[in-house]
Structure 1
Amino acid sequence: MLSEWLPWIVVGGVVVLGLIALALLGPGAPTSLSHKGSRRRRPHRNHFRQGDPPDLPVRHAAVVLNPTKVADAGLVRSEIRRICTAQGWGEPRFYETTIADPGGAQARQAAEEGAAVVCSLGGDGTVRAVASALVGTETPLGILPAGTGNLLARNLDMPVGSLETAMRVALTGRNRRIDVGELVIGSPDDRQGDGTPTRTPGDGDTDPATGSAGAPAGDHAHPRPERHRFLVMTGIGMDAAIMQGTNENLKATVGWGAYVVSGIKHLVSPEFRATFRMDGDPEFKRRARAIIIGNCGRLLGGLVLMPDARVDDQRLDVVIASPKGFVGWAPVIARALTRRRKGHPTLDHKVCGEIHVRTDRSLPVQVDGDVIAEASEITASVLPASLTVRVAHY
């Protein structure tokens, strides 16, 4: 029986093998088997792309440089270029300050030209000028300290002794929004309902960096109050007199010790009478020798005048100092050294969003260490979270 079906079994087996071979070697067979020796290469992965993605724009840092604060501007520029290259940034752009413009116009130009960060390289005055131009924008401020005080950098716990470290923070740090103070010199009656100074026809704009009033020459009928921005502190009275009396040559030689020398000379400055109004509350009067309004509280030499002041607390701290004679300053100094908020009765500490001060005579007024005018009426207010600063990640 098997012998009769054997030929058919053999034929069936041959047919099955043929069908299998046809399936493997036919048109749908893998290239590696059906076209041995003429293997097709797989197209490159870019073949499947519709188009290469556009290159990411190279970031550029702008540096507003005060040439009077560095010994060798060329060497500083080279160092900054090296740091930018090492961090993968493009060629930095430099803008030098002048006597006529301490940095405000340069910072605005840098921001308009697309700088990813605008750095101030100079003292507190340069920082203030650059920051004033960046208030209300999203462009971050980088601080490269090169002055005597460097107060904002100290209050933000930023490096003050190394250009390389400060530049790295400016390029790779995190953004932090901080408050800015605004000082108006003049009567608040000259301000509009929205709190801004009034403008008479033909007036120019007040430059917040330089503080120039901008009113046309000969226009005395409606003088427009001067407006200034401050990052650390403003004050009227003895503290401004200390700044005014500091010898610049001595400051260049011994640094912040020059302020101490001037401070000793002014410890017995005469008292003045002042009337205060805070946040619309009833007026009150005090005798004082110094009125200091702070956005933050750390001073030189580790002294802290306003222990609770923070750059982002949306308020101003006010210290009204009225010590009598050399002995009267002892508790004031002790309070600054121990960082205690409560102190001697002759040192009054208040907190507000806006303060108006009227004195019985014109006195020097300082903004972040620069004496800007003599006045008998000032108004200070806080601009909450109005400035972005590049700070360290810690």
Structure 2
Amino acid sequence: MLKDYLPWIIAGLVVLALVIGGLVLTRVVPEVAATRRRRPRPPRDHFRTGEDDVPAPLKRAGVVINPTKLADLPTARERITAACLANGWAEPVFYETTVEDPGHGQAAQAVRDGVDIVCTLGGDGTVRNVAGALVGTETALGILPAGTGNLLARNLDLPVALEAAVGVALTGRNRRIDVGELVIGAAPMDDAPDESGDPETHYFLVMSGVGMDAQIMAGTNENLKAKVGWPAYMLSGVKHLVSPEFRISVKVDDELEFRRRARMVVIGNCGRLLGGLVLMPNARVDDGQLDTVIASPRGVVGWVPVATRVATRQRKGHPTLDHKACKEIRVRTDRPVPVQIDGDVIGEASEVSATVRPGCLTVRVSQ
């Protein structure tokens, strides 16, 4: 008789087992899921490798110093170093100019050393030589004014105080500016003997010129300049008001060549001078062109209207002061005359040709 009920007994046991199993699962599974949900998330650093823990290297500046412009070089180095550290940069690398190399080689070495910016501590001549190594590169130029004129810094509205200038160089914004390229030396007018030698190529950031302005630079007393600053140039300018005239032949872009007598020709990348004077009111460092002034006054009295137009920033209005805006200009003279580039007299020549190189230099300026 038990055999007759055995299948039903087995079936009942199976059903009972399934019911009990279902009850257990309904309690255990939610608890397991809750336990999984409550498991704490590993900290973020748990997934990091050792390489991520290495801090990024600090930026470093290279500073090209003209030691002749500083009375206390060690103190200047200390102030620059302190300013770099205060702005979160590493200690700077210093390079000193020499008579043989006034800045170009030092700037090139700084770039090879991997600095993040190349700064100059000196005058416009130091800036020009350092910039020559940076033209066409992405390395920015920082300007720490320490000269007499500091004309590029003034035209870019940069601070003159050392700590403030360092701050701008390290934290300011990049600005692309034009550079003038000057070729010196070629055949003079009227088949006169060529005494200028082989052609030389130079860069200028502020102004270059032939004639009286170069004579003023050459005639400025260095001792007086060190004592009184830029007014020393004015004294030299008074002495050269009656400098000799010379005949010039000028070719501007694709215009016809013209001739006249002149006392000076100034080719500028920017127009602001010392003492708040503006020689070229429309000149801009990033307008893609050069501005030229041709001055041809007669005697001392002839300088009065010229000076008036410079003081009032008029661009036109008098036949003895011509303004030309161009991308390229060539000036030939009837004899060799002095030539200056950003305040440095580099000799005499009877022909100069200037061409603008738009936006080829990066300079760090104020925000």
Pairwise TM-score range, normalised by the shorter structure: 0.7 to 0.9
Q: CA deviation at 1:42?
A: 4.2
What letter corresponds to residue 311 of structure 1 in structure 2? V
Correspondence list, 1:285-364, <5 A:
285-364=259-338
CA contact (8 A) 1:188 1:379 kept: no
Q: CA deviation at 1:23?
A: 3.7
Q: CA deviation at 1:252?
A: 0.6
Correspondence list, 1:158-307, <5 A:
158-160=158-160, 162-187=161-186, 224-307=198-281
**1:211 aligned partner:** none
Name the CA shift for 1:375/1:22 in 2 (closer, same or farther; >3 Å).
closer
Deviations 1:23-67 (A, max 9, x none): 444x5451699xxxxxx7643222234664354232100000111
Is 1:373 the counterpart of 2:357? The answer is: no
Unaligned stretches of 5+ in structure 1?
1-13, 34-39, 190-219
Q: Secondary structure at the match of 2:335?
A: strand
Q: Secondary structure at the match of 1:326?
A: coil
Name the CA shift for 1:313/1:29 in 2 (closer, same or farther; >3 Å).
closer
CA contact (8 A) 2:187 2:350 kept: no
**1:95 aligned partner:** 95
- In 2, Cα distance between equivalents of 1:310 and 1:49: 52
Q: Secondary structure at the match of 1:250?
A: helix
CA contact (8 A) 2:208 2:266 kept: yes
CA contact (8 A) 1:332 1:343 kept: no
**2:5 aligned partner:** none
Q: Secondary structure at the match of 1:351?
A: strand
CA contact (8 A) 2:271 2:282 kept: yes
Q: CA deviation at 1:301?
A: 0.3
- In 1, Cα distance between equivalents of 2:304 and 2:44: 77
What letter corresponds to residue 143 of structure 1 in structure 2? I
Unaligned stretches of 5+ in structure 2?
1-19, 189-193
- In 1, Cα distance between equivalents of 2:37 and 2:134: 66
What letter corresponds to residue 171 of structure 1 in structure 2? L
- In 2, Cα distance between equivalents of 1:264 and 1:50: 72
Q: Secondary structure at the match of 1:327?
A: coil
**2:365 aligned partner:** 391
TM-score (norm. length: structure 2)? 0.88
CA contact (8 A) 2:332 2:350 kept: yes
What letter corresponds to residue 249 of structure 1 in structure 2? N
Q: CA deviation at 1:281?
A: 2.5
- In 1, Cα distance between equivalents of 2:55 and 2:258: 63
- In 2, Cα distance between equivalents of 1:379 and 1:75: 42
Larger radius of gyration: 2
**1:11 aligned partner:** none
Deviates more, 1:41-50 or 1:118-127: 41-50
**1:197 aligned partner:** none
More helix by share: 2
Correspondence list, 1:68-87, <5 A:
68-87=68-87
What letter corresponds to residue 314 of structure 1 in structure 2? G
Q: CA deviation at 1:84?
A: 1.0
What letter corresponds to residue 92 of structure 1 in structure 2? P
**1:30 aligned partner:** 35
What letter corresponds to residue 138 of structure 2 in structure 1? E
What letter corresponds to residue 145 of structure 2 in structure 1? P
The percentage of aligned residue pairs carrying the same residue is 65
Deviations 1:321-346 (A, max 9, x none): 01112211111111111111113211
Q: Secondary structure at the match of 2:77?
A: helix
Q: CA deviation at 1:22?
A: 3.2
CA RMSD of aligned residues (A): 2.3
- In 1, Cα distance between equivalents of 2:119 and 2:150: 14
**1:44 aligned partner:** 43
- In 2, Cα distance between equivalents of 1:182 and 1:32: 72
Q: CA deviation at 1:241?
A: 0.6
Q: CA deviation at 1:79?
A: 1.1
Name the CA shift for 1:22/1:314 in 2 (closer, same or farther; >3 Å).
closer
Q: CA deviation at 1:166?
A: 0.4
Correspondence list, 1:87-166, <5 A:
87-160=87-160, 162-166=161-165
CA contact (8 A) 2:186 2:350 kept: no
Name the CA shift for 1:223/1:244 in 2 (closer, same or farther; >3 Å).
closer
- In 1, Cα distance between equivalents of 2:21 and 2:328: 101
CA contact (8 A) 2:179 2:359 kept: yes
- In 2, Cα distance between equivalents of 1:366 and 1:18: 99
Q: Secondary structure at the match of 1:325?
A: coil
Q: CA deviation at 1:122?
A: 0.5
Q: Secondary structure at the match of 1:240?
A: helix
- In 2, Cα distance between equivalents of 1:91 and 1:121: 16
Q: CA deviation at 1:71?
A: 1.7
Deviations 1:151-179 (A, max 9, x none): 0000111112x101000000000000001
TM-score (norm. length: structure 1)? 0.82
Deviates more, 1:229-238 or 1:55-64: 55-64
